[in-house]
Structure 1
Amino acid sequence: MILDEQYTLANGVTIPKLGLGTWRIDDDAVAAVVREAAAIGYRHIDTAQAYGNERGVGEGLRASGLARDALFVTTKLVAESKTRADAARRIDESLRLIGLDHIDLMLIHSPQPWAEFRAGGDYDAGNLEAWRALEDALAAGKVRAIGVSNFERADLDNLLAHGSVAPAVNQVLAHVGATPFDLIDYCRSKGVLVQAYSPVAHGAALDDAALGAMAARYGVGVAQLCIRYCLQLGLQPLPKTATPAHLRSNAELDFVISEADMAVLQQARRTDYGAASAFPVFGKTRHPAAEART
């Protein structure tokens, strides 16, 4: 069962192959979702300071009744935090809000502040400052692994060249129709695991007729097909849902997409996100990936 399978990060820490994303699940609702997910068998929960639900995630983890070492918790440093002192303070605040003595994986959420995401500003120095705070937290045992999110090759190179610890993970938007193959290959060459957020294209993939037809041939739903696609690329998907039935079906992945169908999926053009293009976390009217072809 996929919920029992793990990857091993470059520093030897193991991480469940399938995680639960909690973006846009309100703080007062997320505890019940986390508790239900844990009961189904999920052991990896992904949150972020920007999501505003770390407190609720922690409540759900405690309500699960599971031992701390049975759980893998990821959170992310807000994109605007670009000094060592500020990042250190925010790391401690995440520990307090979630109610943990350590976090399994902590990421820099974006190389640029959200209001300037992909706008070309130079934040190399600020990213190194934030990275050093994460390195400090790693050395102190506050976190077990550190990484990044939404980093492109140049952003990674900055940390690889000047940091003391290489990023263990790069969490990026990756789904059928928008898979950054060059970046994935580069990360793999550096020993960086790529996590795939929004593997169902923010839900837009569910309305894709071609994906529906392919999924039907395997006797699965579109979401299952999309999650399995990421796994077969060696990615670590983080599907988000608050619905118990979907929590279960998202983990029912005991099928293999054929090489021919994988080739079709890898060549797919990006999905139109439609109404899902607006994401308040980013401080923009549209998610930057909705503007690009990959």
Structure 2
Amino acid sequence: MAWGEGGERSILSNPVYLAKKAHEAKRFGERAKEIKPDKVLEAAGKRSRFYKGIKISGLVLDVGCGYGPDALAILNSCACEVVGFDISLGALELAGEVLKGRSAHLLAADASSMPFRDGAFDVANVSYMLHHHPWPVIERIASELARVLKPGGKLVVREPCPSDERGALVEEVWGLLHELGALKDLGQELSTELRGFLHLCSTLFGFGWLYPTALEQLLRSKGFEVVRLEFWNEERDLSALLDSAEERARELDFDEAERAFIRARLDDLREKMNSLGFKRTRERRLFLVAIKGEGSSP
């Protein structure tokens, strides 16, 4: 078994994975302090179109609800009640402000162990959350979704995905090989700060793409029937992304040599972007709807 005996139990208790989760919760909480409610309202408006045509009603679970844009989009599009949860208390605080006065209930919880009874929900929504986790944990989350949904319940998933699954997998493998080689040669000389940064943000300790083919197969194995699978492209500003990377690098306490190396890497990427005249790109997204079988169990 790739993750050691116990599969998802092994990775769920792994100190590096726990550190990554804590980092994500803190990062989203810090970002929530900088985001104005109007921005969440704007995002909700853009997302509403995904929910208007899929007949959502009853009690809806918003898994990893973050700042609340999807919960708000669902409430604006459908007659229902929403329960949202997230591991980030800061994100939940902003979501509470955005959803004040609406039929929404928020709590802190973990998607790998949902604090709800079996068959509690009519619909479950998962938006831009699964790709933060390794595959054994995604399997665990899929089991939890199958458990908390009623028979005939609806699962809605929106996630980033690669345009070319095979090409993306090859890139991930090569990236891992190169990084392992670098860590083997330089690992003992890396500072504690840079080593921690690699653990949280690198190819090795990131979890790459969410592959639609694998996700579809997983959901079928959990008793779901995929009834809708669509793709669209979302435009991103590469220059703004590089600006964000520079800002994050400045916030970290690197020594002079490490800072110079990161500066050179960022300059290299910006020079390539300018040479290509390629300052905006399109990233692929999937939209999936699945129905839990009447006799299925997680």
Tell whether the structures are fold-level matches, with TM greater than 0.5: no
| TM-score between the two structures when normalised by the length of structure 1 | 0.31
Structure with greater proportional helix content: 2
Structure with greater proportional strand content: 2
Bigger Rg, which one: 2
